[in-house]
Amino acid sequence: MLDSKIPKGSLGSKWEDYKGHCKLVNPANKRNMEIIIVGTGLAGASAAASLAELGYKVKAFCFQDSPRRAHSIAAQGGINAAKNYQNDGDSVFRLFYDTVKGGDYRAREANVHRLAEVSGNIIDQCVAQGVPFAREYGGLLSNRSFGGTQVQRTFYAAGQTGQQLLLGAYSALERQIALGNVTMYSRHEMLDIVKIDGKARGIIARDLITGKLERHSGNAVLLCSGGYGNVFYLSTNAMGSNVTAAWKATRKGAFFGNPCFTQIHPTCIPVSGDHQSKLTLMSESLRNDGRIWVPKKQNDNRKPSDIPEDERDYYLERRYPAFGNLVPRDVASRAAKERCDAGYGVGSSKQAVYLDFAFNMERYGKIEVSKRQISNASHEDIMKLGKEVVAEKYGNLFDMYAKITGENPYEVPMRIYPAVHYTMGGLWVDYELMTTVTGLYALGEANFSDHGANRLGASALMQGLADGYFVIPYTMGNYLADDIKTKDIPTDHAAFVEAEKAVQADIDKLMNIKGTKSVDHFHKALGKIMWDKCGMARNEKGLKEAIVEIQQLRAEFWKDVRVPGTANEFNPELEKAGRVADFLELGELMCVDALNRRESCGGHFREESQTDEGEALRNDAAFSYVAAWEYKGPSQFELHKEELVFEECKPTQRSYK
């Protein structure tokens, strides 16, 4: 039976009561305890800095050459917090409610409320670190709109919020490295968890430069390794992003929660050909400040400037008048797919819609005319001033689009289409962020806990920093207080020897196949299966086919993959091979989970379960639970359920109309 360890009491008091009654580790004992942290993005860097500041000895691992390379750096639009600087009705409860509703009532209330509670502290922390958030004329931090809400609660630093937040966490981490409290292992990849007496006591890591396997022990292990969107091959994730750390934990007994919950982001630059290895995201802040439309006429090949206003279909504003372009990502993505499938798509592929800034450029320009007291301003003058405002707010994003497409988005609308972005599923964790393996924690996107079936925009950065700065220092201490008598764990223990042998055997197996097909061949084939049959829409027939096809592809992989070079050197193809091997197992589980969940909710859209208007139709009576899957062996998974209880947010059919 899964124990989520949710504290008793009212929802608003659970976290404060927990902090007031959890066990503590005194400073002298903290100095004798070692923590292993895998991944140094926002969750990992903030956790490493915070725990080292408290006095713990920390070992931090990342496969990049620097923590600054973590994929957190790619987040553009902003970070949510319930500060109510706009005085527009925001509150902790409203952020909590929007998050639960946006996740289509498939998230754990207690975790989400805690996230909303600490959100304001995150902003204070980051400002103190010097993160250059945008500010209003009067000095207050600026906010902008994001999907799934009717208030402005998203703090931002132009179009590079993730980069600036990561630099803040990185500076705190580097301070602890300089003080000797954190030992940083870059260019290292975790390849297994080591358990002793049922507890996570260390990891096996591979030095990616020399190929040498290393044993590292600790009192607890934190996985902060991000999401698994690259199972689709083409996604907005960095090409190195992978599921290996989480999947190795799954094979050692950590349950995997809600693997089928994948977020499709509505504002991606469309696929241009088979040559692509990744996709590029245009920030959701652009969707919320621009207008989405397609021609009202099918297969309309006219230039967008030649299509008059009355022949344009602003379909989000038409279908969802209350929220318009501010609907959540899953809703916006499905609406774009529906228009394109119906023959209203634009561009050469007809798999795109327009994201148009002309309306808001004119609006901003008129505001500037008033501010500068310019009389008799021409339309050209107004648009010029408006473009200057847009350039100040979103200039780097517009420049990025221009470089990739060769089009000037200040003059013509952007073309966008949905793409795989974030994964709401991840390792199952309890209220304390501990997995089903004692002493093994998962933070940020690596866990399943806060976003249900659909993450609201600008909440990924919020969760990563909340987990690292403000949650794990309390919850891990509650566990380690009972572990202070544990002496340094020797890495010559039989469990370490056995784990290293198993890792070496897997590496040898990959190197000795000497097949004819590249790793990318198998990754692309898996991605096509996943996108076609477990992507924006799923159905029973397609999912059953996908499971069989993935099993066949996996068998072929282990017979015919070609990994050049040797294991005892820098070998990126070997790295990729290990990661794709894990994706081939995860992909099957994703389809199994999607097949089992015979309802539509958030990013999981079963074609058999939809309303007359084509919206997601939940089945609360049968599926109001977290699906936690236990790995039993290849193609063998056992389902465990954590029933979801809603005290404050009673599930209703989501409506953004």
| Confidence class for position 8, pLDDT limits 50, 70, 90 | very high
| Confidence class for position 657, pLDDT limits 50, 70, 90 | confident
518 close to 574: Cβ distance less than 8 angstroms: no
CA distance linking residue 606 with residue 597, whole number of Å: 9
According to the model, what pLDDT value does residue 188 have? 98
Lookup: tokens for 289: 């400040």
What is the reported pTM? 0.96
| Confidence class for position 288, pLDDT limits 50, 70, 90 | confident
Query: Taking residues 371-387, what's their average pLDDT?
Result: 94
Concatenated DSSP letters of 205-237: EEETTT--EEEEE-SEEEE-----GGGGSSSSS
CA distance linking residue 462 with residue 112, whole number of Å: 11
**Mean pLDDT score of the chain, rounded to an integer?**
96
> What is the 3-state secondary structure of 258-275?
CCCCEEEEEEECCCCCCC
Task: Choose between 617 and 137: higher pLDDT.
Answer: 617
Query: Taking residues 556-573, what's their average pLDDT?
Result: 98
The residue annotated as part of the active site, out of 329, 415, 597, 618, is 329
Measuring CA to CA, how many Å separate 359 from each of 34, 151, 268, 397, 531? 56, 21, 21, 18, 34
CATH 3.90.700.10 residue spans of the chain: 267-419
Start-to-end Cα distance in the chain: 39
* pLDDT at 273 exceeding the cut of 80: no
> Which residues does 607 contact at the CB level (< 8 Å), separation at least 6?
537, 538, 539
pLDDT in tens, 474-498: 999 999 999 999 988 999 999 999 9
* pLDDT at 277 exceeding the cut of 90: no
CATH number for the segment(s) 267-419: 3.90.700.10
* pLDDT at 137 exceeding the cut of 90: no
Query: Taking residues 305-330, what's their average pLDDT?
Result: 95
* pLDDT at 437 exceeding the cut of 80: yes
According to the model, what pLDDT value does residue 400 have? 93
Catalytic residue status for 329: yes
CATH number for the segment(s) 494-624: 1.20.58.100
